[in-house]
Structure formats: structure tokens, C-alpha cells
């Protein structure tokens, strides 16, 4: 049981490049989400999904796309990378869409945009 798996762990991009951050879970959790973590700003929600085929925007969605074709996977796409997207990205899941349950985080992807 791997929990929440994020790939890659590190990535360096040039401005304007695109890429996909992968998140996979093997816990059959309904809810999956992406956060970015920047110094002094905590964890900010980018996008989330309450089940396969359903996604919605969080607090800071601009510049990012998501899709949820399966329960297990929730990739985050950067369409045209910008230096402001340099951050650590965390995927988090919980068992159901409703709250009052622990969220489980992946190990993170450290992304640098030059």
C-alpha cells in the first residue's frame, strides 16, 4: 500500500515549457487535491476533485489544468510555465469528499522555473 505517490520529485523547467505533475493513490479515496507551498504562505489549494470526471478550482487555479479520468490518478498540468510557479507542489487525498477526515499528502514535487 503505497498511499499517495507523486512524480517527479524534482523538476527544472524553462519559462514557457509545459509539463505534467503526476499523482496516484491506491486507497480508493474519492477526494484528491493539489496544493502549492511557498515560503510564508502555507499551503494554497490549486484544484480539487470529488470523484472521477469531476474537478473544480481552488484558491490559486490560474496557469494550471487538471483532469480526473480514474479514481486513482489526478495529474496537474502547467500549460506555459512561469517563474511565479516555482514552488513545492503537494497532492493530497481523503476518503470522501465531505470534510472532517484526515488528508493524506504525497511527498511533494519541487519545481523550479528558470
Q: Which residues here bind other proteins, judged by CB under 8 A?
A: 31, 33, 35, 40-45, 48, 50, 56, 58-59, 90, 97-100, 102-103, 105-108
Closer of 50 and 52 to other proteins (Cβ): 50
3-state SS class at 85: helix
The CB-of-2 to other proteins minimum distance in angstroms stands at 13
Which is nearer to other proteins, 44 or 77 (by Cβ)?
44
113, 19 contact by CB (below 8 A): no
What does the DSSP assignment read for 46-88?
EEEEEETTEEEE-SS-TTEEE--SSSSB--EEESS--GGG-EE
For residue 96, the minimal CB distance to other proteins (Å) is: 9
Give the nearest distance from C-beta 16 to other proteins in angstroms.
29
Amino acid at each position: 500500500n503505497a498511499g499517495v505517490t507523486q512524480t517527479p520529485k524534482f523538476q527544472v523547467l524553462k519559462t514557457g515549457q509545459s509539463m505534467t505533475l503526476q499523482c496516484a493513490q491506491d486507497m480508493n479515496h474519492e477526494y484528491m487535491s493539489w496544493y502549492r507551498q511557498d515560503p510564508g504562505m502555507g499551503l494554497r489549494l490549486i484544484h480539487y476533485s470529488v470523484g472521477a470526471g469531476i474537478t473544480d478550482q481552488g484558491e490559486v487555479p490560474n496557469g494550471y489544468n487538471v483532469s480526473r479520468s480514474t479514481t486513482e490518478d489526478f495529474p496537474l498540468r502547467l500549460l506555459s510555465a512561469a517563474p511565479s510557479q516555482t514552488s513545492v507542489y503537494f497532492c493530497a487525498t481523503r476518503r470522501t469528499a465531505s470534510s472532517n477526515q484526515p488528508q493524506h499528502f504525497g511527498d511533494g514535487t519541487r519545481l523550479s522555473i528558470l
